[in-house]
Amino acid sequence: MPDEPIVSAEALHKRYGGTKALDGLDLAVAPGTVCGLLGPNGAGKTTAVRILATLADADSGRARVAGHDVAAEPDRVRAAIGLAGQYAAVDEKLTGRGNLRMFGRLYHLPRREARRRADELLERFGLMEAADRQVQGYSGGMRRRLDLITSLILRPRVLFLDEPTTGLDPRSRGEIWDAVRGLVADGTTVLLTTQYLDEADRLADDVVVIDHGRVIAGGTPDELKASIGDRLDVALADPADAGEAARVLAGLAGAHPDLDGARLTVPLTRGAVRLADVVRELDRAGVAAEDVGLRRPTLDEVFLRLTGRDADPAADPAADAAADADQHADQPGRRKETVR
């Protein structure tokens, strides 16, 4: 019998004024996995996380985290989760060790246990050498790692990461990825929102794509790529042969190729095509090819096909109003620190 989802949502709806942030969102996350929540800017990713983390109330629908109803049992949910966002929420005037000890005491750990847990986390996540330096002297990646481990002090069963690597350099992003992999290996479930599709591709066991507040696709990264089919790439020896090559490829693939200089790319809408057949038909048409190959689509291409938009928020200015509601939807009296 398959495990029950450790995070689930059914028909979640949420409005902020005239903006519909969630429109019947359904979600199921298996224990001990990474689920990547993808969507254009303003699609509802952050709103979904805030509801699941008890920082916002849904207008309707149900959600459960770690076996508890988020509306009826918010305290039990908070005791089982950690939350880290895209902006480090640590005290820059304190040292790294001081920050972790402070959070431990805020979580009501005994003083000795708070010190022991701080040292354990600093060692595990490679910050022990910088433990006694003020955080204001940390790099962006070090601050983000420190912020991440403050959410781990109570050993959460579920960790919500809301765009945790936004603005980081590639090396720092890699450090966060390694940290996440280590957590999952220890049994933590991670729900990750990100606009970096390579991040979801590398980290996520399952990917859920949302748009306009509802799920439009889901599956493993490979399943999503397979859903839009492979592409055939042909590099021509002579660009003047592009017209004849396009005719041949359209006949084989059932779709019109895209042309970029001497390279043609065509989606395989009729299923698999044998490369030997492609080479033979091009040769019959008198077209010389320097290279012929099959290419699996990237998650970026899947995302564009599903949403009609680029994953880069700068490419979607029309979503600004929804994004503002999605990212700044604080409720009076609710603070991030309550679930750290």
pLDDT tens series, the chain, 340 aa = 457 999 999 999 999 998 999 999 999 999 999 999 999 888 999 999 999 999 999 999 999 999 999 999 999 999 999 999 777 789 999 999 999 999 999 989 999 999 999 999 999 989 999 999 999 999 988 998 999 999 999 999 999 999 888 888 888 888 889 989 999 999 999 999 988 898 999 999 999 999 999 999 999 999 998 888 788 899 999 999 999 999 999 998 888 898 998 999 988 866 678 889 999 999 999 999 999 998 888 888 888 888 887 765 544 333 344 444 454 444 433 333 334 4
Residue 210 pairs with which residues in a beta bridge? 215
What is the spatial distance between Cα 74 and Cα 339, in angstroms, rounded to a whole number?
A: 10
What is the spatial distance between Cα 270 and Cα 93, in angstroms, rounded to a whole number?
A: 61
Instruction: Determine the pLDDT at residue 273.
Output: 81
Instruction: Determine the pLDDT at residue 2.
Output: 57
Q: How many CB atoms lie within 10 A of CB 282?
A: 21
Residue extents of the structural domains in the chain:
7-225, 229-296
* Tokens encoding 221: 């990264």
Q: Which residues contact 38 (CB under 8 A, 6 or more apart)?
A: 45, 193, 194, 195, 197, 200, 207, 208, 209, 210, 299, 303, 311
Instruction: Determine the pLDDT at residue 311.
Output: 64
Q: Which fold has domain 7-225?
A: Rossmann fold (3.40.50)
Instruction: Determine the pLDDT at residue 268.
Output: 81
Instruction: Determine the pLDDT at residue 316.
Output: 38
First to last CA, the chain: 33
Decide yes or no: CATH 3.40.190.10 for domain 229-296: no
CATH topology match: 7-225 vs 229-296: no
Instruction: Determine the pLDDT at residue 5.
Output: 96
What is the spatial distance between Cα 263 and Cα 293, in angstroms, rounded to a whole number?
A: 11
Instruction: Determine the pLDDT at residue 270.
Output: 62
What is the spatial distance between Cα 122 and Cα 75, in angstroms, rounded to a whole number?
A: 28
